[in-house]
Amino acid sequence: MQAVWVALIAVLGTLAGSIATGVMQRFHAERALARDREHHRQQRQLDVVCSFVESIAELRRRQIWRWSTRRDRGRDSDDYRESKDACFQARAASRGCLLRLQLAGLPEGLVQQGKAVFEVSITIEEAADVDELNRIAEVAREALESFVGEAGRFCSRF
């Protein structure tokens, strides 16, 4: 009879150990999955911010090129039409990146700052003269740098 009790206790102990191990493995697997999801979300946000910054830098460059081409060669030149088309492409790409900023779950203040950077960047080509071009381009550059600083502070919390 004593052998039966010993065997029963051994079986119950093994069963309890298996259950405890299963519960702990599930707990650790859920934590690892949550950590991986959070890391993926953070990486996606960082990628979106980087894409936006790159697209705005390209938009600024193309806006300045468009303005310079219009001044140097006139609105009827092929170069101007090419620069205008390139500007529209850059604007569309930047707007797409701006929408991705909104969808990525970034703080609303950062998204609003991104919108402001976009808006000031598209006004570059409207400058009346070189001085105004330089002023607007500088405002756009400073706005972009401010956005990068704020985004960097947000992303450094990762």
Those residues whose C-beta lies under 8 Å from the C-beta of residue 120, and which sit 6 or more positions away, are 136, 139, 140, 143
Return the structure tokens found at 79: 């170069």
Q: What is the pLDDT of residue 46?
A: 96
Return the structure tokens found at 115: 């919108």
Q: What tens digit of pLDDT does each residue of 45-59 get?
A: 999 999 999 999 999
Q: What tens digit of pLDDT does each residue of 68-88 get?
A: 999 999 999 999 999 999 999
Q: What is the pLDDT of residue 158?
A: 73
Measured distance CA(52)–CA(119) in Å, rounded: 13
What is the DSSP code string of 16-43? HHHHHHHHHHHHHHHHHHHHHHHHHHHH
What amino acid occupies position 143?
A
Decide if 124 contacts 67 (C-beta within 8 A). yes
The whole-model pTM stands at 0.83
Q: What is the pLDDT of residue 8?
A: 82
Q: Where exactly are the structural domains of the chain?
A: 47-155
In percent, the amount of the chain with pLDDT more than 90 equals 82
Categorize the per-residue pLDDT at 116 as very low, low, confident or very high, splitting at 50, 70 and 90. very high
Q: What is the pLDDT of residue 9?
A: 85
Q: What is the pLDDT of residue 11?
A: 84
Q: What tens digit of pLDDT does each residue of 7-46 get?
A: 888 888 888 888 988 889 999 989 999 899 999 999 999 9
Measured distance CA(46)–CA(147) in Å, rounded: 13
Those residues whose C-beta lies under 8 Å from the C-beta of residue 106, and which sit 6 or more positions away, are 45, 48, 49, 154
Strands (DSSP E) found in the chain: none
Measured distance CA(122)–CA(120) in Å, rounded: 6
Return the structure tokens found at 68: 């310079």
Q: What is the mean pLDDT of residues 101-105?
A: 95
Q: What is the pLDDT of residue 74?
A: 94
Q: What is the pLDDT of residue 150?
A: 96
Q: What is the pLDDT of residue 121?
A: 97
pLDDT higher than threshold 90 for residue 4: no
Matching residue, tokens 């090129």: 65
